[in-house]
Chains A and B, each alone.
Chain A
């Protein structure tokens, strides 16, 4: 156990509970955060992390319990008040005004006290310099990368003289370089005595730079420990409530003859891309965001326009003009952006699952709705999708369960070639493992998978073969069983 931090704790949360209709989101949660400490909070989706943060920032009101910040009991607060008290939250989706400049965002609503236009930019410059950011204060926020936007958020937090900065999944859209920059800033802030609460799914990050970790599960604090005392696997078992011996199932056996051969795909982004896929194989595609990996699978699937495309399936030249053609040939695509490209958020789980096989459920133009119900029930059961029923709106499910529903949509059509673009993005460890098992099951039944992922360990452990993509070209092929992660990353970073 962590030593008692006593009365000097910066933030202390005692027995805080919060109930929503039908869900106990937080059940007598207690934790203490001291200055100069990076405090990690981990837990699966729905464990209560966001609810806790929203209570601290004043978005939600707690039902019971006590929150003390700097020795003052805080009963009711609002987002603005908590900012002024020195408690800043940087949300995953970031809260900046895109149409204003960096400087204006840092001092949003406080132009006068910051000394007008000139003062705003001068002071913002100072704050950004203090965290080593070179972004111009006159630039529009809409032109910034996610990483630079985060810098602006941090500068904004510092402008309030924050004593505690809460970062909610800050690394989810960062490249490795950008993450390193963030880690450095976190160390600097820590040295200044500022406390950081770091919420993340990624256990590597917790291990890498957090001092203390609190594990939440189903609204309870499971434990708060020094990070050095916990192994990665221990942390995972605490999160999911059971022992997981391995994060990845054993790599599936590769098999069979060539099923898909791309002779060339050319688009504005892609240059003469060639690759082959064998039956029963998982082919990993590694590349930076913007390397052309997503464009490649979208072009293959007929989702985007191409200037040239020669594709053979089973040795036969095929024409894929649109997703309908692709689906007819047994291709399936789980897109990168679950919310905007995968889900119909306002529709029941059932109709989200039946989507790809809807034609099959239709005779003379009429949908067989009872058959549709059984298709959905079958997938809900097979994939262990946690939903009250097939008629529940998919919007209300957690990210992991939404993703499983999209997988169920495609599994129902028994795809020959399943394309997964970031299938485990923003999904908790338990659901991730289930998705890996599913992938294995698919290839064992003779399907093939093209896997795109920014998480290198995932690609390395699951794939039989890995291609690197850089600047619109396939520039390398590796056997992940023997190739090192460094080798592969180096190639992915190499520009022709």
Chain B
């Protein structure tokens, strides 16, 4: 601990792009890969491929935005895969019974309730560590996933088989507001709202303070319990929004379809530069992280890298990012 470096006087919040890139070399690496791909693979620079990239980012971004607050507060939410699956099947099966609008509202409510259940369990466990939040939400992920499977008896539900109007889903999938697609607009709205919460509000400050030092923040009157409820509620709700976008896009709901998003959301947040230890991060970084991750997947696909190898690449990136962060922290602490 004491060995590393000189005391740095007057170090303030990192602001310059140079510092930022030095602290986030993974950005440079992925952008490098994109440049290489665009040279060796002509299909990369086609409009349809860009469309692909935006579509893939469209689902992930909601889950990752919610995950950002959870991680910034020093916790984890592994349940979002289960929540996405559950919300997807509930929403689709409800359409014929209550109509598309109410079905979506029910879906979002289910997501919100799942988030509240998570926070309730974490608060009642009392000790409030990241590890506990990890195990509790992992357990709940299994529960939500199982409920989804039981609810539809494991069967895939097709949106297109609906006998009533599904125009909202169609609009989310292919509609446009001016030059931008509907779900892009949704993602922008969600990002802006969360960014305002993060930068300007008491709620947002409470999130980073909780992640920075829970004990000190609590002793100074920061409402830790309320913050925990809020971050999991947001995470559940945004996962539900992601589920609705996903359903619109693939026009079906499968009780296991949410599974890959948990890993990807955490990966996107961490690649973006938010510290897994909490106290430092931004939803804006996460947006960048989502695009980097999607670009990475896209490049690997175009270069013909098998999906097995892609899993390995994710794992390696996760480890590198965490390793770099540890090194950075050691440097700052001196």
Spell out A's residues near B (CB within 8 Å): 20-23, 25, 54, 59, 91, 301, 303, 322-324, 326-327, 333, 335, 340-348, 351, 355-356, 358-359, 362, 365-367, 369, 388-389, 391-393, 395-396, 409
Tell me whether B219 is interfacial, beta carbon within 8 Å: yes
Does B250 have its Cβ within 8 Å of any Cβ on chain A?
Answer: no
Is B279 located at the chain interface by the 8 A CB criterion?
A: yes
State whether B11 touches A344 (Cβ < 8 A). Answer: no
Q: Are A392 and B12 in contact (CB under 8 A)?
A: yes
- In the complex the two chains form, what is the Cα distance from A359 to B209 in whole Å? 14
Stretch at the interface among B32-40, B50-58, B197-205: B197-205
Contact A367 B201 (CB under 8 A): yes
Q: By the criterion CB–CB under 8 Å, are A342 and B216 in contact?
A: yes
Contact assessment for A335 and B219 in the assembled complex, using a CB-CB cutoff below 8 Å: yes
**Which chain A residue lies CB-closest to B221?**
A327
Determine if B332 and A395 form an interchain contact, defined as CB atoms under 8 angstroms apart.
yes
Closest 6 CB pairs of A and B: A20-B6, A388-B10, A355-B220, A344-B212, A327-B221, A362-B202
Kindly state the separation between the CA atoms of A366 and B196 in the bound complex, as whole angstroms. Answer: 9
B212 and A324 contact, CB distance less than 8 A: no
**In contact, A344 and B10 (Cβ under 8 angstroms):** no
Q: A97 to chain B: closest CB distance in Å?
A: 14
**Also in contact, A344 and B218, with CB within 8 A (given A362-B202, A388-B9, A388-B10):** no
Contacts of B42 in A (CB 8 A): none
Contact of B12 with A348 in the complex, beta carbons under 8 Å = yes
Q: Which residues on B are within 8 Å of A, measured CB to CB?
A: 2-3, 6-13, 200-203, 205, 208-209, 212-213, 215-223, 279-280, 332-333
Q: Are B202 and A22 in contact (CB under 8 A)?
A: no
Identify B213's interface contact among A327, A344, A359, A409, CB under 8 A.
Answer: A344
Compute how far the CA of A22 lies from the CA of B215 in the bound complex, rounded to whole angstroms. 33
Closest partner residue, chain B, to A342 (CB atom):
B216
CB of B209 within 8 A of CB of A344, answer yes
Q: Which B residues are CB-close (under 8 A) to A340?
A: 213, 215-216
Q: How far is the CB of B73 from chain A (nearest CB, A)?
A: 13
Do residues A23 and B7 form an inter-chain contact, with CB atoms below 8 A?
yes
Q: Contact between B223 and A22 (Cβ–Cβ < 8 Å)?
A: no
Q: How far is the CB of A268 from chain B (nearest CB, A)?
A: 16
B13 interface neighbour in A22, A54, A391, Cβ under 8 Å: A391
Q: Is the CB of B216 within 8 A of A359?
A: no
Residues on the B chain within 8 Å of A367, using CB: 200-202, 205
CB distance from B37 to the nearest CB of A (A): 36
Nearest B residue to A95 via CB reads: B2
Q: How far is the CA of A346 from the CA of B208 in the complex (A)?
A: 10
Query: Are B220's CB and A389's CB within 8 A?
Result: no
Give A396 to B209 CA distance when docked, in angstroms: 18
* Option from B8, B212, B222 in Cβ contact (under 8 Å) with A21: B8
Partner of B212, one of A20, A347, A359, A369: A347
